[in-house]
Every structure is written in C-alpha cells, then in structure tokens.
C-alpha cells in the first residue's frame, strides 16, 4: 500500500510538470567485473516507465513554458527527483525495479565459452592443453575491442527537429540511435579496418573524427537524427514516434541515395552501396529473405553509376522470427552470424527498447545501449582535441539472446566482390544447416526464384554460375511460412 501511494505521488508530480523527462544510467561497473548489476530497460508508455523515468529526470525534451515557468518546474522537479533517486538507490527498490522492468548483466565468465564480437573471436574458454588461460590479457583484449565500438545514445539540447519543439529523442529514438551505431561501425570497418582500436594517443585518427561528425545532432550532419526522420517519412518515421527495424533499414536506403544525389560530384557521405534484403516480392509473400546476387550487383552498379562492376556493400536484413518472442530454432543461427567476418551485428533488443547487439557468448547477447541520456556533442573539424568520451562505453552489458524482440535486423559489410562471395558462401552453408528454417537464403536471380547451394559455389568463391543452381527456393519458404511475418 505504501508503495502504491508512493507511485501515485510520483506519477502525479510527473503529470504536473510541463516538460518531458530523460533517463540516465546509474549502475555502471567495469566490463570485466564478475558481479552482475542492473541496467533496466524502460517499456514504452507504461506506468513503471513513467515512474522510473521520472525519478532520474535530468532535463527537458521540449517545452512550451515561459522562462519563469521553466525555473519553477525545474525547482519542483529537483526536489522530488532527488528524493526518488535516493529511494531507488536502495537495495530493496533496485530489486523491485529489476523485477518489474527486467535487468541486464555486466559479468563476463570464462566458463561460458568464447566471445564472438562482430566477426572476431575472443578465446575466453580455457585451452584444452593447459586447462587455463591468461585471463588478464584475454579480458583486456575483449574490453578494448568492445570499448572501440561507436556508442550513440539519446541526446538532449539539440536544435529542434523540423517544425516540432523536440530538442531530445528520449523515450522514442532508440531504434534510430541503434541504427546509427551499426552504420557508424560499417564506416569504421571501411575506413579504418576491423582491427582498429580506440586509443588515447594524440592526435586522434582524422577518419575516426570525420565519422563521428557525420552523426552529429544537427541538420548539417549527413546522418543526423534530423535527416533520418526526413528520409523516413515515406516509411512512417515521425518525431516522437517509435519505429521498427524494417522501416529503419529502408530509411537508410533512402537517406544514402539522397546524400549521393546531393553530393553528385563530390565524395559520397556513405562510400558503399546499400542493399536491404527482403523476401519474395519485397516480403509480400512471407518466407525467408533472399540475398539475390544480381540485385547486389545492380546496387553496386547504381552506386558507381556504371563505372565499376562492384563496390563496398552494406547489407541490411530485416527479420521477424516469431510472434511475441524469437522461435528458439533461430537462436543458433543468430549466434552463427557473429562469426561471419562481415558481421555488423543486430538491431534488436527488448520490445519497445532497441539496442545494438554486437556480440555473443553462449546464450548471452552483448550490446550497446542507446538509452543513456547525454548532452548534445557536435564535433567539428576545427576542434583541436575533441572530447569523444560520450561515443564509447566500457560497460559490457548482456542479455539472454532468446529474450530479444523477434523483430530485428542483421547487418553485414562486404568490402569487395571477394568479400561478398565469401559472405554468400557462409550464408549458404548456414542456410543448409538450418533444418529447413533459414534466417535468409542466397539466390542468383530473384526472377528465377532459385536458391544457391554450397555445391554450386566454385572452389575459389569468385563466381556463381546460373547453370549450377538446382534448388527451388519456394520449397523452403513455403515450409516455414507460418513462422515468418510479412516484412
């Protein structure tokens, strides 16, 4: 009863305020810590989301109040927010929060096997010959790899988006931020390579700073949240509204094309073709999406305006792998995608709370969380020593892989034709090991509706022959159509 009254008072205080609220993470521990800690997700439009969000309010998403009203609201909020923060920091309330909202873990254990992080294996498991590992070095390598990945989170204080009053994306922009992280990582791979690590050395890599600039929170930045919302209007993107993985993938396709056309004679902001992989008839018939080799080639040709046959390629594969949860037979397949050298991870998370999943260890999914609220940071080329600390995280959170939302998207980056052929070879093998329920398949041509098999791939993986295609794609798609949603 006391808890109920307390919640009601907090919600009442929330409703009396004329400003939206933002959340910050208060449970941060080092990545190699053996103890778990909570980092709760905030279900959209729920009582508990309002309750916990209010307790950690640090600013305004938008405001229609006068300056005097703002000061009064801020004064009232500061008092009760501090009180709520004190209560929530107590052990009993933290346990209650975890029970209601769910929790994530930050411990990394050698007993759970090796960690695959975007195509790189960190051998955490003890060696069979010695029965032991150099734990300190292994964890340090993993931590440095994890820390080097680009983190993009909720921001507050940027210029209002279009004609709206929104100056923050708190509580609705997590999918946009997750997608920005994936594309930023593709650019890191392209310009700096998979082995690149963030260091404290001065000066910092110019290519790295250039990439961060492209994701600034202003219209002038190529891949800002402002420009994403503008490009995604045809797919239902709107300020203040949540968006799903499929619409997000299509939005990147549109934005990349728009940016190319705007910079027709200059350097392309996204130096790679974008290929959103869908099912038969763009997903209208359901079934597993099909990576069509001819379609990929066409995207590359369009990107280069016919000057070269192949270009770097960003593949985005939106999927729906169940109704309210992921069908368990897809879990091993999702795990295997992180072993692809071309892996860019997964846009996914809990329902209504998108994250960027970048690695797996056994049943764990390691992710970067966009739900931390940070002040806007727009890095310019004139900055002598830019502060990039808000773009990285040394807290390796993880959640059970089977708990993620079944609506997700997988990303891959192929540097050239050989890399794409290698991707296709791995994807074909993965589909053949799926017992008739693949994540996606590979075909030479959509019009042929024929799937490529591993036996049809030449030994050097450089060419796929139309004459060697012998498996009908419709058989696989039809068998498992009940497990797929229309994309």
405 is annotated as an active-site residue: no
Strand order in the sheet with 441-443: 290-292, 441-443, 450-451, 471-472
369 is annotated as an active-site residue: yes
- Write the DSSP symbol of residue 325: S
Catalytic residue among 174, 249, 292, 300: 174
Residue 257 to residues 21, 76, 227, 261, Cα–Cα distance (Å): 35, 47, 12, 6
Residue 337 to residues 195, 264, 361, 438, 486, Cα–Cα distance (Å): 19, 35, 13, 12, 22
Q: Give the gyration radius of the chain's Cα atoms.
A: 23
Give the SS3 label for residue 47: helix
What are the b/e assignments for 12-30, b being 16+ CB within 10 Å?
ebbeebebbbbbbbebebe
Distance CA 200, CA 210 (A): 17
CA 89 to chain centre: 29
Backbone φ and ψ of 206, nearest 5°: -60, -40
Residue with tokens 């190529």: 222
Catalytic residue among 369, 405, 419, 421: 369
Catalytic residue among 169, 222, 292, 371: 371
Active site residues: 174, 369, 371
């Amino acid at each position: 009863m006391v808890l109920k009254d307390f919640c009601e008072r907090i919600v009442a205080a929330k409703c009396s305020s004329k400003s939206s609220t933002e959340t910050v993470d208060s449970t941060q521990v080092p990545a190699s810590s053996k103890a778990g800690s909570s980092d709760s997700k905030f279900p959209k439009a729920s009582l508990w989301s309002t309750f916990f969000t209010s307790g950690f309010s640090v600013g305004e998403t938008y405001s229609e109040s006068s300056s005097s009203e703002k000061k009064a609201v801020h004064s009232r909020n500061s008092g009760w927010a501090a009180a709520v923060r004190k209560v929530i920091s107590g052990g009993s309330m933290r346990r209650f929060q975890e029970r209601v909202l769910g929790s994530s873990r930050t411990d990394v254990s050698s007993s759970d096997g090796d960690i695959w992080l975007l195509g790189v294996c960190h051998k955490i498991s003890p060696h069979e010959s010695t029965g032991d590992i150099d734990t300190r070095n292994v964890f340090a390598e993993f931590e440095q790899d994890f820390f080097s990945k680009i983190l993009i989170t909720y921001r507050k204080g940027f210029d209002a988006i279009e004609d709206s009053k929104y100056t923050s994306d708190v509580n609705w922009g997590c999918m946009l931020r997750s997608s920005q992280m994936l594309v930023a990582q593709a650019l890191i791979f392209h310009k700096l390579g998979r082995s690149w690590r963030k260091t404290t050395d001065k000066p910092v890599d110019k290519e790295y700073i250039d990439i961060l600039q492209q994701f600034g929170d202003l219209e002038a930045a190529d891949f800002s949240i402002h420009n994403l919302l503008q490009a995604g209007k045809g797919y239902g993107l709107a300020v203040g509204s949540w968006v799903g993985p499929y619409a997000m993938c299509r939005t990147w396709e549109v934005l990349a094309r728009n940016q190319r056309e705007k910079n027709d004679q200059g350097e392309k902001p996204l130096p790679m073709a974008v290929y959103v992989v869908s099912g038969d008839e763009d997903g209208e018939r359901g079934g597993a999406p099909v990576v069509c080799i001819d379609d990929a080639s066409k995207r590359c040709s369009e990107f280069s305006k016919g000057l070269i046959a192949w270009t770097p390629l960003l593949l985005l594969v939106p999927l729906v792998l169940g109704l309210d949860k992921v069908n368990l037979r897809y879990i091993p397949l999702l795990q295997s995608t992180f072993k692809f050298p071309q892996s860019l991870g997964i846009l996914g998370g809990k329902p209504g709370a998108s994250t960027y999943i970048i690695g797996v260890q056994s049943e764990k999914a390691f992710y970067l969380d966009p739900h931390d609220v940070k002040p806007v940071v727009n890095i310019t080329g004139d900055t002598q020593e830019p502060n990039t600390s808000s773009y990285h995280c040394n807290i390796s959170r993880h959640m059970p892989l089977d708990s993620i939302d079944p609506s997700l998207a997988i990303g891959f980056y192929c540097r050239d034709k050989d890399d794409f052929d290698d991707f296709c070879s791995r994807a074909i093998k993965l589909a053949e090991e799926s017992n008739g329920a693949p994540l996606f398949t590979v075909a030479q041509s959509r019009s042929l509706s024929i799937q490529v098999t591993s036996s049809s791939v030449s030994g050097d993986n450089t060419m796929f022959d139309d004459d060697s295609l012998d498996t009908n794609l419709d058989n696989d798609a039809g068998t498992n159509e009940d497990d797929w949603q229309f994309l």
